Amino acid sequence: MGAGLALLAVAAGAFAAHGLRSMIDAQQLNTFETAARYQMYHALALMIVGLLSLAPQFSHPLLKFAGAAFVVGILLFCGSLYLLALSGIGWLGAVTPIGGVAFLLGWLTTMMAVLKQPPQSA
């Protein structure tokens, strides 16, 4: 899933650079590019979480939560910014912080999973 979301982030960035530049104003273009940039960051984070979950020393149920939080963040944060940039519908900006909180929860739970103490062997 992370690789697919990264692919879409590259496509969105290319679309912004080559297709949208002449169709929307500079502020809308900046908003769209911010969405693509954050989508890429969090697509990479999703892949890192997946790799961490494969390592026995880091495998933790919190990593599944973190992955889900990154996906929700991409949908809400990036999705709302894409739609805001393309439509100009202002109330979509109210959804963006909810996605930002999902990103923060993803990073927090990733950190908690990585920093957890391994079980003591007898």
Q: What string of pLDDT tens digits covers the 122 residues of the chain?
A: 999 999 999 999 999 999 998 899 999 999 999 999 999 999 999 999 999 999 888 888 999 999 999 999 999 999 999 999 999 999 999 999 999 999 999 999 999 999 985 655 55
- Quick check: is 100 in a domain? yes
- Residue 122 inside a domain? The answer is no
C-alpha distances in angstroms, 10 versus 16, 22, 41, 76?
10, 19, 11, 18
Domain that holds residue 61: 2-115
Residue 90, classed as helix, strand or coil, is: helix
Q: Is residue 36 part of a domain?
A: yes
Give the residue carrying structure tokens 């590019």. 33
- Quick check: pTM over 0.85? yes
121 located within any domain: no
Q: H or E stretch including 48? A: helix 26-54
DSSP reduced 3-state for 121: coil
Among 108, 121, 98, 89, CA closest to 45: 108
Domain count, the chain: 1
